[in-house]
Amino acid sequence: MKKRTLGKSGLEVSAIGLGTMGMTMAYGAGGDEQEMITLMRAAVERGITFFDTAEAYGPHTNEELVGKGLEPVRDRVVIATKFGFDLSPGAPMLALNSRPEHIRAVAEASLKRLRTDRIDLFYQHRVDPNVPIEEVAGTVKDLIAEGKVLHYGLCEAGTATIRKAHAVLPLSAVQSEYSLWTRDVEQNGVLALCEELGIGFVPFTPLGAGFLTGKITTATQFAADDARVFSPRFAPEAMAANMALVEFLNDFAKQKQATPAQIALAWLLAQKPWIVPIPGTKKLSRLEENMGSAEVELTPADLDVIAENAARIGVVGARLPEFVLSLSGR
């Protein structure tokens, strides 16, 4: 597996990472624990070194799973996790809490669940408007000085917040949704700012929650506990319209002797050398397919064709429900 460095941070990771959220939640039932542990270790053996989790996934159960899975290979991997939500009993859904004392408490709890003595990359999961970002960055800076955290990141943050945070403590990575059907960071200045400041960029949901793989059709039925049930982009009318993008990817992939998923990931890799997508999966076959994207070469002419068709087709529907989007871009 090829390696990439996240901006100027010096943090080297595999060119394709592994998002673990779906192993315990979000897309229907999680996977069998032992099967997921086996999958994570198989990923490491195949060269994946970058794993993404969060205390909010479960909550807590995903970090516990990642801790069990990666403990025997801890020194071979980079583990990213996140703080920033209030997960206390009785707290409203998606309530935020990035007060310094809460960040410290989350760090200590995450270290225990992950069975490790350091968090390689600690993201603020969503920006808390009630806590100055300078305080957040300062708290993570202290955790780095104590050796409990190695690198600092932000998720779904706006450019002003990124600048303020970076001035206090250099950011190693910014994580936001980015794919062929979600390109907000190209228009809102986030990607350009990452390049200016030397910050790595980590696209989550790089395969459009599975839509860009070509395995989802208008007849696909999602389970009641699948987050896509609530996504405007997965409403029947939107899915029908968005199939045009999948049809293009299918045709283009055949020309390149690849799969639609590999083209979608290769397109992201071709945007900048400091971009590292983190597709998730519960299947070894999909893991290997995703890894194969790092070997797909897209020429400038290929990228032009993809750009022209993506612009022509467009995308119907918001990427997430409004109550979730309201937490982004601060």
Q: Tell me: domain 3-325, CATH 3.20.20.150, correct?
A: no
Strands 3-5 and 12-14, bridge-based pairing: antiparallel
- Dump pLDDT digits (tens) for 95-149: 999 999 999 999 999 999 999 999 999 999 999 999 999 999 999 999 999 999 9
As a whole number of angstroms, the distance between CA 330 and CA 161 comes to 7
3-state SS assignment for residue 123 = strand
Report, as residue numbers or ranges, the catalytic residues.
57
Question: What separation in angstroms does the CA of 266 have from each of 23, 26, 91, 156, 277?
Answer: 24, 25, 40, 22, 10
3-state SS assignment for residue 75 = helix
Contact assessment for residue 43 and residue 285, using Cβ atoms and an 8 Å cutoff: no
What burial class does residue 20 get, using C-beta atoms within 10 Å of its C-beta: 0-12 exposed, 13-18 middle, 19+ buried?
A: buried
For 292, residues 6+ apart whose C-beta sits below 8 A from its C-beta are 258, 259, 262
- Dump pLDDT digits (tens) for 272-319: 999 999 999 999 999 999 999 999 999 999 999 999 999 999 999 999
What burial class does residue 80 get, using C-beta atoms within 10 Å of its C-beta: 0-12 exposed, 13-18 middle, 19+ buried?
A: buried
96 secondary structure, DSSP code = B
As a whole number of angstroms, the distance between CA 274 and CA 8 comes to 9
Residues in the chain, overall count: 330
Question: What separation in angstroms does the CA of 15 have from each of 2, 21, 103, 249, 269?
Answer: 6, 19, 29, 21, 8
- Dump pLDDT digits (tens) for 158-215: 999 999 999 999 999 999 999 999 999 999 999 999 999 999 999 999 999 999 999 9
Contact assessment for residue 15 and residue 4, using Cβ atoms and an 8 Å cutoff: yes
Query: Which residue ranges make up each domain of the chain?
Result: 3-325
pTM here? 0.98
Question: What separation in angstroms does the CA of 167 have from each of 50, 112, 162, 163, 260?
Answer: 26, 30, 9, 6, 40
- 85 pLDDT tier (thresholds 50, 70, 90): very high
As a whole number of angstroms, the distance between CA 191 and CA 184 comes to 9
Provide the β-strand partners of residue 27.
226
